[in-house]
Amino acid sequence: MRLTLLGSGGDSQTPMPTCECRVCDPAREEGLPHARYGNATFVHEADAVVDAPESVWAMLNREDVRDVAYIFLSHHHMDHVGGLRVVQAIGRPQYPLDDWDNEDPATVVMSETTYDRIADSLDIEAQYDDRGYAEFEFLADGETMALGDGVEVTGLGAPLDPGGPADAAMGYLFEESDDSALVSPDETTFLDLEKVPEDLDLWVKECGMFRETPDGDPILSDDLWADERDHQTTFDQTLEQVRTVDPDRTVLTEIEEIYRRRPDEYARLATEHADLSVEFGRDGMDIEL
């Protein structure tokens, strides 16, 4: 199985407009690997994209992706669904256009909770269903669907907050032959790790928040840090989750600009945790299983 990180950033992409920090300047001047678009992963055997940030158009073109059959949405936050309009371009008929229906529309897969939370904000019925831009399917927590060519995907749900809907955030477990890859790009704070297979080959997972910059300067005030860590995964929590699941390989994504770390600093940090086989992702990173 082959996966490509289309984008490894998060809500705060790199470079941030108007920012001239030590992270944004080289990203703006040199591009990759310093620059990071939003969070999206492409699973080649399934022709499937996981999440559609605003920058997904540019990412698909940069990686020369020619076929997208599925778009899986992990949750309703705009930095993961704001680029869903890309389905307008997938399967568009040749000119002259007779109508707006796509000839071979992508199938957009998500939980019912995610659909309910974005139905109004994205005007799904009028802008997508009625125009034939996409087909929509629900995948429940623990449910498996066949994608063809021997690839199956299982939804692994988690609440966004304690006591919330169990399918508010979805990770997607892709399996082909003996290969298994779990893509849970964000919101893994309350994921029940017992749902994750014991023999997982690859985990593409959110990095988690850092408390300080590499120089030891606090990123968030004490009050804001205390508030955020109640419902956001920290980097230390990510390490504990990886240690518990013990996959063969972990690639971290959702790497925010506010963490103020450069690629070489992430590489050194990965070396410090070599026992966990943790790597920090980068845009365009190819991952072979």
Q: For the domain that residue 232 is a member of, what is the CATH number? A: 3.60.15.10
pLDDT of residue 205: 97
- pLDDT tens by residue, 251-288: 999 999 999 999 999 999 999 999 999 999 999 999 99
pLDDT of residue 85: 92
Our count of domains for the chain comes to 1
Instruction: Pick 262 or 93 by higher pLDDT.
Output: 262
Report angle CA 54, 56, 60 to the nearest 5 degrees. 165
Considering only CA atoms, which of 164, 167, 163 is closest in space to residue 154?
Answer: 167
pLDDT of residue 94: 83
Question: Residue 61 above 90 pLDDT?
Answer: yes
**Would you give the distance in Å from CA 265 to the centre of its chain?**
22
β-sheet bridge partners, residue 138? 110
Report angle CA 283, 234, 40 to the nearest 5 degrees. 25
Region 100-111 average pLDDT: 91
**Domain that residue 182 falls in:** 2-288
Region 149-171 average pLDDT: 95
Please give the model's pTM, rounded to 2 decimal places. Answer: 0.95
Question: Encoding tokens for residue 39?
Answer: 């969070």
d(CA 9, CA 6): 10
Q: What residues have CB less than 8 Å from 37, skipping those under 6 apart?
A: 6, 7, 8, 9, 13, 53, 55, 58, 59, 283
